[in-house]
Amino acid sequence: MSSKIKIIIKTEDKNINIPSIGFGLALTFVRFGLWTSKFVKDMDEDSQKYLRENKDVIIKMVKEIFSELKKMDPFTLVEIRSDKTNVLIEIR
């Protein structure tokens, strides 16, 4: 059973371990991001309108994704490697 998202960034100079966050807190960040998107001056009007009109659908989809992830065993969702950097996004 999974319940958290963990992001790890490793470079030649340093390793950055961002603390794990629960799905509930991640959903709060999504809601906050949707709310603050209306204050972004560089975002075009069509994108702002889309986010404003589909906020509830986006939140519902994120909840459904987290619900499915909770049923799974921990796994690496994304692994990106380059010559100098390794980024991991894990579901724990």
**Mean pLDDT for each consecutive 10-residue tract of the chain (92 residues)?**
96 95 98 95 94 97 97 97 96 96
Q: What is the pTM of this model?
A: 0.84
What integer pLDDT is reported at residue 16 of this predicted model? 96
What is the count of structural domains for the chain? 1
CA 63 to chain centre: 12
Estimate the share of the chain in helix, then strand, then coil, as percent rounded to the nearest 5. Answer: 45, 35, 20
Neighbouring-strand partners of residue 76: 90
Its domain, for residue 57, covers 4-91
What integer pLDDT is reported at residue 11 of this predicted model? 95
